[in-house]
Chains A and B, each alone.
Chain A
Amino acid sequence: MTNNSSLIRIESLKIGLEDGTELVKGIDFSMGRERVALVGESGSGKSLTARSLMGLLPDSLHVQADRFELLGEAVLPYNQRQWNQLRGKQVAMVLQDPKYALNPTQNIGRQVAEPLVLHQSLSKKVRIEKVEHMLDAVGLPNPAQLRKMYPHQLSGGMGQRVMLAIALINDPQFLIADEPTSALDHAVRDQVLELISSLVEERNMGLLLISHDLQQVADYCERVLVMYQGQLIDQLAASELSNASHPYTKTLWSCRPNIDKRGESLPILDRKQIASLTEGAAR
Chain B
Amino acid sequence: MNLIELNDVSISHVQGSERNTVVHDVNLTVKAGECFGLVGPSGCGKSTLLWVLAGLNPHWSGSINMLDQPLSAGKVFTGDLRRRVQMVFQDPYASLHPKHRLRRALSEPLKLLGYQDIDDRLSEGFKQVGLAENMIDRYPHQLSGGQRQRVAIIRALLLEPKLLLLDEPTSALDMSVQAEILNLLNDLKAKRDLTMVMVSHDPDVVDYMCDHAVTMKAGRIDQEKFYN
Contact = CB atoms under 8 A, between A and B. Distances in A.
Interface in A162-194: 185-187
B201 A255 contact: no
Interface residues of B, number: 24
A41 B176 contact: yes
Contact of A268 (B176, B208, B227): B176
A43 interface: yes
Interface residues of A, number: 25
Contact of B175 (A252, A259, A261): A252
B contact face: mostly helix, strand, loop, or mixed = helix
Interface in A249-263: 251-252, 255-259, 261-262
Closest 4 CB pairs of A and B: A257-B208, A255-B179, A259-B207, A266-B179
Contacts of B205: 257
Contacts of A267: 179
Interface of A: 41-43, 156, 185-187, 212-215, 251-252, 255-259, 261-262, 265-269
Contacts of A252: 175-176
A228 B227 CA distance: 37
Given A43-B144, A252-B175, A255-B176, A268 B183 contact: yes
A252 to B, nearest CB: 6
Contacts of A251: 176
B88 interface: no
Interface of B: 41-42, 144-145, 174-180, 182-183, 186-187, 201-205, 207-209, 227
A257 B186 CA distance: 12
Nearest to A265: B183
Contacts of A258: 204, 207-208
A251 B174 CA distance: 13
Given A259-B208, A259-B227, A262-B207, 16 more contacts: A41-B176, A41-B177, A42-B144, A43-B144, A156-B42, A185-B42, A186-B201, A186-B202, A214-B175, A252-B175, A256-B175, A257-B207, A258-B207, A261-B208, A262-B208, A265-B187
Nearest to A44: B174
Given A43-B144, A186-B203, A265-B186, A257 B41 contact: no
A105 to B, nearest CB: 24
Contacts, number: 66
B85 to A, nearest CB: 25
Nearest to B208: A257
Nearest to B228: A262
Contacts of B176: 41, 212, 251-252, 255, 268-269
Given A261-B208, A266-B182, A255 B144 contact: no
B175 A187 contact: no
A21 to B, nearest CB: 16
Nearest to B172: A182
Contact of B178 (A186, A187, A255): A255
B69 to A, nearest CB: 32
A199 B201 CA distance: 27
A256 B174 CA distance: 10
A212 B174 contact: yes
Given A185-B42, A186-B201, A267-B179, A41 B174 contact: yes
A267 B41 CA distance: 28
B145 A212 contact: no
